[in-house]
A and B are shown apart, each in its own frame.
Chain A
Amino acid sequence: MVTSATTPTTVAVATATFDLRAAIASIPDPEVPVITIEDLGILCEVVVDEQARTVNVLITPTYSGCPAMDAIRQHIEHVARRRGYTASVQTRLSPAWTTDLMSATGRDKLREFGIAPPGQRSDQGSDVVRYPVGVSLTIRRVTCPLCGSVDTQEISRFGSTACKALRRCNECREPFDEFKSI
């Protein structure tokens, strides 16, 4: 018989750590509540100390002035406190967040919610159609999250939050938000 070195206590500890980590990871983004902070890619690290009942969480802002950071920090502290832990939330600036960190699940959820997910930055070269003028009047091909048409136009580069642009579909005529690639 193979005896695992794992005692019931360490299993319990591992489960508690796992639960806390999962609870933190599933905190919704305050401005786009359909995706979690993990889907968004802003949750960098969760280190739990079961002995001291503390948790160190490292997050990175999407934009320097993102007003949601304070709300996210408070939410993490609240989730930890409810489970009997004291959270210490640190913000890290470098390496900078990019929309490439957003998970595939996160992208699907955004699309279902009616927000066009960001394109991969690395693909941008092929997505960008340049007018034959020198200055960067560019159009990106963005698919309408409502009808799936690629015939969409940018209304404003700066939308309802720092991370979104406002577009309109020329096919179904509906306006929609686009998560900007950065």
Chain B
Amino acid sequence: MSQNAIDTQGTTLAAAYCLQLGDDALIYAQRLGEWISRAPQIEEDMALGNIGLDLLGQARVLLTRAGELDGTGRSEDDLAYLRNEREFHNVHLVEQERGDFGFEMARMLWFAAYQCELYAALISSIDDTIAGVAVKAVKEVDYHRDHASQWVLRLGDGTPASHVRMRESLERVAPYVAELFEDDAVSIAAAEAGLGTLPSSLWDSAFGHVGRVVAQATLTVPANSPWRSRGGRSGIHSRPMGYLLAEMQHIARSYPGATW
């Protein structure tokens, strides 16, 4: 095998890895954006908007890098607006429809706990762009995790009504958690190449944080559900994904090349 072939394989892998990291951030940013004007108070409109903006910033750098590496010359916009559902590699957790505020805090607690460990590990990636995103993002997602932690604490250890709703939210999110920490072919290869890290290696610390917050919120982490999500990393998505993409991509597809 020529050196060239190995290099091509390496860049293809790095592109695929950037794409799955970027897609998680992009799709969750899109979901969080839906909260603007719909949160329980204006401070939360801004908080969730800002958290979405951080994630969008991470996604922009990662998708740009994926487009540079995969040889197609696609821009961040091409990748965000012109791919079909099967070409997105995000986990099902981030594409689920917006529930109530408790659901969003349960989802954010898990996702931010995962991202905190993820980016801490990616600081030592051999790819400068991935390491660069990580060193910046690790500070941002720490704020996100803290924000979700404080709300889970307040709602869980709040009134009888908020306690019940927070418990139900954790139960609703539970079936989507395992997929975040599952090693797929791309992340295994990326970890071996020194580009990335194994999602399974992040579980203990992330679960440790969530477990502490949930216990202090006078709740318990739900037991494993009989059904769990699978397939997001290989492009198999759940029903809400198509609707999310329709909304996100509608303008760009209806008016190709439009600027304002």
Contact = CB atoms under 8 A, between A and B. Distances in A.
Interface stretch (A74-82, A88-96, A110-118): A88-96
A27 interface: no
Given A64-B133, A65-B53, A94-B136, A157 B213 contact: no
Nearest to B142: A182
A158 B57 contact: no
Interface stretch (A38-46, A50-58, A130-138, A141-149): A130-138
A158 B151 CA distance: 14
Contacts of A157: 47, 143, 146-147
Contacts of A136: 146, 149-150
A158 B52 CA distance: 12
Contact of B136 (A96, A135, A155, A158): A96
B146 A64 contact: no
B60 interface: yes
A157 B108 CA distance: 15
A61 B140 CA distance: 12
B135 A93 contact: yes
A66 B57 contact: yes
B53 A162 contact: yes
Interface in B138-191: 139-140, 143, 146-147, 149-150, 153
B56 interface: yes
Contact of A63 (B43, B129, B140, B146): B140
A28 interface: no
Interface in A90-114: 92-98
A162 B141 CA distance: 12
B88 to A, nearest CB: 20
Interface in B45-94: 46-51, 53-58, 60-61
Contact of B51 (A67, A95, A158): A158
A104 B43 CA distance: 30
A64 B61 contact: yes
B131 interface: yes
A64 B153 contact: no
A166 interface: yes
B128 interface: yes
B77 to A, nearest CB: 14
Contact of A96 (B56, B139, B150, B153): B139
A65 B56 contact: yes
Contacts of A92: 132
A94 B56 contact: no
